[in-house]
Structure 1
Amino acid sequence: MSEKETMQTGNEELLNALDSVQEVNVGDIVKAEVLAIEPGKEAIVGIEGSGVEGVVPFGELSTLPIEAITEVVNIGDVVELVVIKRSKDKENGSYMLSKKRIDAKKVWEEIQADFDAGTIIEAPVTDVVKGGLVVDAGVRGFVPASMVDVNFVDDFSVYKGKTMRFKIVEIEPSENRLILSHKAIAQEEREAAKKEKLATLLAGDIVTGKVARLTNFGAFVDLGGVDGLVHVSQISHNRVNKPEEVLAVGDEVTAKIQSVDPEAGRISLSIKDTLAGPWDNIEERAPKGATLKGTVKRLTSFGAFVEVFPGVEGLVHISQISYKHIATPHEVLSENAEVEVKVLEVKPEEKRLSLSIKALEEKPESMKQAEAEEHYELPEESTGFSFGEILGEALSSNEDAE
């Protein structure tokens, strides 16, 4: 080959090489080989097919927090990058590129697919901010406070570091907006657990649980996935005006199931039914003839009801209040007065006690005398005859006269 032909061939090869060089523009997705790494600063890459170099800044390497560049790339790796701008620093490469943005684009595409399919995703909570939680779903996700849980949450710090399940509520990749909800998942889980728990509960079962909340009409007890209601009338054998008088949120209680309504998801409970009744063993605690101390609870026209044990009231009939004649119990008694009573009669099956106040008092002398006269008998030694004989003789005399 002549020198002219050789030069011509060389020129053709150069032209072909130049023709094969790709033009690099901002926005292009390219492949590049990692040529060098400057720790904590950047990775220098050679863009394939272009004959030019570029840099990937530390902040453009990963969508996740990293401490070293080598956590993501190493020298010799070929990675996919996007050109984000031309670099003015020619010594460190002609272009600035990003791996993070390529990865984020793929993540957004996956999240969009999950959103379209209604798929539940799992992701760790990386931070707690004003108004909610920050979640790492490959890209930054946000959970508003109102979507964190079913119940009100006072301290969100307990969620930091936890991996949780989320429903995708809103997605807008162009604005890097991803709104998630754990509340929707919690509601579904709660309903599933509730149905499962309801299927295991039967009327008459004795169960334990913790007081979840108090209302004016009763207490809701968490039985483990489902709440049961203890009506205020079923809290104690004693009268309870408000549940907070005897219960507090967090208290562990034992209760008896009165009824279960699976369709409505309602459970009626009774703490009272698990406690010893006030009338249990009443014949031993208040036997006939016993003297007890009590408190006047109610006054009526026919007598006074006196509480001698918590939940046990007995009636002092008006005729058993005093030896004096009274028109109403109010003349000598008042509510909440402390009195001493004697048990006249006990009827456990009817939950009735008959009591007397006057039986513990001394009879007036006038009453004693009247009773003595009423039961008076003529002494035999005064006449030599018995009262019966005198009466018989008198009757006989009358018959003879006739």
Structure 2
Amino acid sequence: MTEETKITEEITASEEVTATEETNVEAAQEEQAPEAAATEATPEVPAAAAPVAVEAESVNQADHLDVAVIKKGVTVKGKIVKIDADQAFVDIGYKYDGTITLRELSSVTLENAADAVTLGQEVELKVVSINDAKEQLILSKRVVDSEKAWTELQAKLESKEIFEAVVAEVVKGGLVVDVGLRAFVPASMVERHFVEDFTDYKGRTLKLRVKELDQEKNKVILSQKDVLDEEFEVNKKSVMEGLKIGQELEGTVQRLTPFGAFVNIGGIDGLVHISEMSWQHIDHPNEVVSEGDQVKVQVLKLDPQNDRISLSLKATQPGPWQKLGSELQVGSIVTGKVQRITNFGAFVEVAPGIEGLVHISQVAHRHIATPHEVLKEGQEVQVKILDINPSDKRISLSIKDTEEAPAGSEKQEKPRSDSRGDRPERSRQPKSDYVQQENQKLTSTLGELFGDKLSKFK
């Protein structure tokens, strides 16, 4: 027997009962009529059963309306009156309360019904099933929310509206949020930077924008990264306009790379190259800072067109030349470490952050073609300070002056010979005297050869 047939039979039975009661009332009135005619002083007694018939009719009409309206697929409104761990109970004005199971409360997985509704909350629901015999009325909040969500999300996609939603689940490849539908935020669309572990994102509120919507495939893709990128561009322009070369700022170390550290200053990142991390030589930025450290940096260069900001950490700290004390004096001998070797010499660190040059001529007593013949990087050597120039940040050093010269290393100078043999070089004399003497020699020689012939022309 269908529900509608059952309802029809109940209504018919109710009508038959009402008709029978009305017939009984009329018969009672006819029996009382002769008695009323015989005694005129006796007032006419009104029919007492008539109100009963009216009351019964009202109840039947109310029951008829309830059963007709509350049926499967109908949308109703109600108030949450009780919450259990796995279900919630709703008063919708029916003869008994309806039930919302955990699955019908939300499109996302819930651990407790209280995560979706609260006591006294007004909700709109869809009737899933009804069984008056067992007094079971199953309702769904999820279906109503889902129907509304598609319309709302389509409007947000077209308007590019930004809205907020709470992360309900952390799943493989991203996050799930409840927007009336089960929506997905891919891992690549959560932040502007790479996130390795999303465990602590559950319960966070994200600022989102609809990225993709496909109702036929029940597909909803959202993005927070698009929102953050837009905010970053607006903020970046504002920050860049306020920066000046030489300005010192507080920043936070965001990430480290082999070539330097990226520091966030006012919402945008600048690069501190490894050469600007410390006054001393370092092999990796992690020797100086760690991610999350608060540091003071100085602006070195600005390149707004390429979105580049060059920063310096060491420029905000006292340099080694500023701290240079009396331990380094001209003529003193100190221990240093060879940092770099070039063809013209070697750079030796004689104090933290202070390097001096040992020219190739000051490396050894003997002749060498390149400093690599006697030195290697990292080697500790004794050096003598030949000269210090703090303004130019230069120190001249010597290794050979710290060593004793080997015997016979000084060669005797030999007189230079001219191009015609081993004859000693002529003693130096003024050029004009030398030319005059040569001319005289040339004149005397010509006279000896052609004297007799030249005399004929006298």
Aligned residues between the structures: 351
Is 1:335 paired with 2:373? no
Q: Given the alignment, which residue of 144, 149, 157 partners 1:115?
A: 157
Counterpart of 2:376, as a letter, is E
Q: Within 2, Cα distance between the matches of 1:258 and 1:69?
A: 53
Q: Within 2, Cα distance between the matches of 1:245 and 1:80?
A: 60
Could you tell me whether the CA contact under 8 Å between 1:279 and 1:312 is conserved in 2? no
Distance 1:286 1:144, change over 3 A: same
Q: Given the alignment, which residue of 224, 228, 237 partners 1:195?
A: 237
Q: Within 2, Cα distance between the matches of 1:356 and 1:335?
A: 16
Residue 269 of structure 1 is matched in structure 2 by 311
Distance 1:67 1:290, change over 3 A: closer
Q: Within 1, Cα distance between the matches of 2:203 and 2:116?
A: 24
Distance 1:249 1:67, change over 3 A: closer
Deviations 1:203-242 (A, max 9, x none): 1012232332333443322224111112333334444555
Higher relative contact order (CA 8 A, sep 6+): 1
Matches within 5 A, 1:110-149: 110-149=152-191
Q: Within 2, Cα distance between the matches of 1:299 and 1:141?
A: 61
Radius of gyration: which is bigger? 2
Unaligned runs of 5+ in 2: 1-21, 28-52, 413-458
- Cα displacement (A) at 1:80: 6.1
Counterpart of 1:150, as a letter, is R
Counterpart of 1:190, as a letter, is F
Residue 181 of structure 1 is matched in structure 2 by 223
Residue 439 of structure 2 is matched in structure 1 by none
Counterpart of 1:66, as a letter, is A
- Cα displacement (A) at 1:290: 1.8
Matches within 5 A, 1:343-354: 343-354=385-396
Is 1:294 paired with 2:294? no
Q: Within 1, Cα distance between the matches of 2:185 and 2:316?
A: 44
Q: Given the alignment, which residue of 345, 349, 358 partners 1:315?
A: 358
Matches within 5 A, 1:128-277: 128-172=170-214, 177-240=219-282, 242-244=284-286, 246-277=288-319
Could you tell me whether the CA contact under 8 Å between 1:58 and 1:69 is conserved in 2? no
Counterpart of 1:27, as a letter, is G
Q: Within 1, Cα distance between the matches of 2:261 and 2:187?
A: 27
- Cα displacement (A) at 1:42: 5.3
Counterpart of 2:113, as a letter, is I
Could you tell me whether the CA contact under 8 Å between 2:82 and 2:119 is conserved in 1? no
Could you tell me whether the CA contact under 8 Å between 2:246 and 2:298 is conserved in 1? yes
The two structures have a TM-score, normalised by structure 2, of 0.59
Deviations 1:92-111 (A, max 9, x none): 26x75545533543444434
CA RMSD after TM alignment:
4.8
3-state DSSP of counterpart to 1:198: helix
3-state DSSP of counterpart to 1:90: coil
3-state DSSP of counterpart to 1:214: strand
Q: Given the alignment, which residue of 73, 76, 93 partners 1:27?
A: 73
Q: Within 1, Cα distance between the matches of 2:249 and 2:155?
A: 45
Q: Within 2, Cα distance between the matches of 1:133 and 1:106?
A: 22
Distance 1:137 1:276, change over 3 A: same
Q: Within 1, Cα distance between the matches of 2:360 and 2:229?
A: 59
Counterpart of 1:318, as a letter, is S
Q: Given the alignment, which residue of 97, 103, 113 partners 1:66?
A: 113
Deviations 1:140-168 (A, max 9, x none): 43323222222222232322222222112
Could you tell me whether the CA contact under 8 Å between 1:278 and 1:312 is conserved in 2? no
Distance 1:342 1:133, change over 3 A: closer
Q: Within 2, Cα distance between the matches of 1:30 and 1:367?
A: 111
Distance 1:273 1:69, change over 3 A: closer
Q: Within 2, Cα distance between the matches of 1:136 and 1:242?
A: 44
Q: Within 1, Cα distance between the matches of 2:389 and 2:302?
A: 34
Distance 1:193 1:26, change over 3 A: same
Q: Given the alignment, which residue of 128, 131, 137 partners 1:84?
A: 128
Deviations 1:301-351 (A, max 9, x none): 7665543234321335636843xx545576984335433333333333344
Q: Within 1, Cα distance between the matches of 2:274 and 2:162?
A: 41
Could you tell me whether the CA contact under 8 Å between 1:216 and 1:242 is conserved in 2? yes
Q: Within 2, Cα distance between the matches of 1:268 and 1:117?
A: 38
3-state DSSP of counterpart to 1:349: coil
Q: Within 1, Cα distance between the matches of 2:118 and 2:312?
A: 60
3-state DSSP of counterpart to 1:153: coil
Could you tell me whether the CA contact under 8 Å between 2:77 and 2:92 is conserved in 1? no
Q: Within 1, Cα distance between the matches of 2:380 and 2:101?
A: 83
Distance 1:321 1:363, change over 3 A: closer
Q: Within 1, Cα distance between the matches of 2:194 and 2:166?
A: 21
Distance 1:216 1:23, change over 3 A: same
Q: Within 1, Cα distance between the matches of 2:317 and 2:79?
A: 78
